[in-house]
Amino acid sequence: MTRSPLSENEYQAKAVLKQLIAHGYDAYFVGGCVRDTLLNRAVHDYDIATNATPEEIMACFERTVPTGIKHGTVTVLMDRHPYEVTTFRTETEYEDYRRPKEVKYVTSLLEDLRRRDFTMNAMAMDIAGNLIDPFGGRTDLGQGILRCVGTAEERFGEDALRMLRCVRFAANYGLHVEEATWAALRVQAPLLSHIAMERVRAELERLVGGADPHRGIRMLVDSELPNYFRQQLEVPLERWRSAFAERALRELATLEDAAARWVLLLLLLEEDPAHIAAALRKLTFSRAAWSAIVSALELHSSMSESVMHPPAADSAVRSLETTFKLATLAQGKDAATLWLSVIRVLSNAVQGDDDASSGSGSDPNNPFQLESFLRGVSLDMIAFGTEWLDAMTCTNIRELAITGSELIEANGKPGGPWVAILLHRLLQEVALGALPNDKAALLEASSNE
């Protein structure tokens, strides 16, 4: 097979190897970059292992940063790329089931590879492209197997986060977890209570944002790992097991936006948005991230109420339009756009499915309001939502063609709460199409108050 030309990233990574070798040291690519090279996947980060000590590594290069020198890692800065270079090492007992209490430098590449998590990550490659694979990682990859190096219970006992990595790797790489490895994961699952929630959140984000989030979520629920998080999320993750959720989760990968994937997942829980917000905060999502997701969930709550309990005096479409526009004002245009993208995808979970259409695809003991909502909203109405949103040229007070100070001047009375109340009413009128977003029209409407 003819190999494509080296990327700049790979070229500079090889330059790091050459420099170390030129100074008399051994140096190899290790871990994920070797795995992804064998799978013909794009490589973004090149990790390097060497028998040079951190001090010796820094002496070989002009620009370095001692990013993890306590554990033998130095970051070498080339023209445009940083490369982590780590001294061959073994590790003593781990503390807090996450990090080694201390490391011991060794001169053997084999000993360094032996400490790694899975066989597919315990391979090395020299500068000529020769593979060093003492634990059968290439064979396991070829057979679609994810297996721990050595004894699985020991690997998970050293670093409990490896259990979440196991689920993520299996889903993202389409691998079957070897039986002993899966059994050890189930046994060691309680150790996850020692892992910081920000580490858990990072793994979950990679899983949800991965190539096969449907399988990842299914494995996560089957593993029962969330039961052992340091903080209990207190949301009904078991709802992801239902027949309707199974159909809906198949649509996850069609959503490119990470926030949209989370909205789909969390809609299936049918939980109060405030409880979802609390769970996302426990997972250390940033305020901006959880707020965007919860705003879309709040908007859905408003829309669901309108569909399930429409006003008798209004047409269904008109009622839905009014609710949608008012909810957009309350939650923001970004939340509306996000919600529409998720609902459009979720509609596929109830369209053209014979079992679903007959109701046999649902759990009669735990029915989904979301499923009923999707059946109550035609595809035409979903298309209307995009039209309604596009027609809303004004979705917040800052976009109104009039300011609070202009209202105060025109009405000839001192400012107060009435200004904000009036601005909000004018905004609603404009959003609903009852008033044009024109200063003269808004002034005239305000004078009638």
- Position 307 scores a pLDDT of 75
- Position 363 scores a pLDDT of 53
Sheet hosting strand 27-30, strand order edge to edge:
64-68, 73-77, 82-87, 47-50, 27-30, 124-125, 131-132
Provide mean pLDDT across the span 186-193.
Answer: 97
**CATH code for residues 1-143:** 3.30.460.10
Of the ranges 63-72, 207-216, 301-310, 440-449, which one carries the lowest mean pLDDT score? 301-310
308 or 406: which leads in pLDDT: 406
245-277 residue pLDDT tens: 999 999 999 999 999 999 999 999 999 999 999
The neighbouring-strand residues paired with 84 are 75
Contact 46, 31 (CB under 8 A): no
What does the alpha-carbon distance between residue 281 and residue 391 come to, in Å, rounded to a whole number?
Answer: 34
Question: 7: pLDDT confidence band, cut at 50, 70 and 90?
Answer: confident
Helix (H) or strand (E) run with residue 264 in it: helix 258-267
Provide mean pLDDT across the span 100-112.
Answer: 84
- Position 98 scores a pLDDT of 54
- Position 359 scores a pLDDT of 43
Q: DSSP per residue over 42-63, as a string?
A: -----EEEESS-HHHHHHH-SS
Q: DSSP per residue over 151-220, as a string?
A: -HHHHHHH-THHHHHHHHHHHHTT-EEPHHHHHHHHHHGGGGGGS-HHHHHHHHHHHHTSS-HHHHHHHH
What does the alpha-carbon distance between residue 223 and residue 146 come to, in Å, rounded to a whole number?
Answer: 15
Q: At what angle do helices 316-331 and 379-391 cross, to 10 degrees?
A: 50
Question: 197: pLDDT confidence band, cut at 50, 70 and 90?
Answer: very high
Of 242, 258, 219, give the one whose Cα is nearest residue 368.
Answer: 242
| Architecture, CATH, for domain 399-447 | Orthogonal Bundle (1.10)
CATH 1.10.246.80 domain span(s) along the chain = 399-447
- Position 361 scores a pLDDT of 46
Q: How far is CA 121 from CA 36, 96, 156, 316, 409, in A?
A: 10, 23, 15, 56, 70
**CATH code for residues 149-230:** 1.10.110.30
CATH 3.30.460.10 domain span(s) along the chain = 1-143
Highest mean pLDDT among 129-133, 340-344, 355-359: 129-133
What does the alpha-carbon distance between residue 151 and residue 148 come to, in Å, rounded to a whole number?
Answer: 7
Provide mean pLDDT across the span 172-189.
Answer: 97
Provide mean pLDDT across the span 88-97.
Answer: 69
Amino acid at 443: L
- Position 112 scores a pLDDT of 94
What pTM was computed for the model?
A: 0.88
12-57 residue pLDDT tens: 999 999 999 999 999 999 999 999 999 999 999 999 999 999 999 9
Question: 356: pLDDT confidence band, cut at 50, 70 and 90?
Answer: very low
Question: What percent of the chain is predicted at pLDDT more than 70?
Answer: 89
Provide mean pLDDT across the span 138-164.
Answer: 96
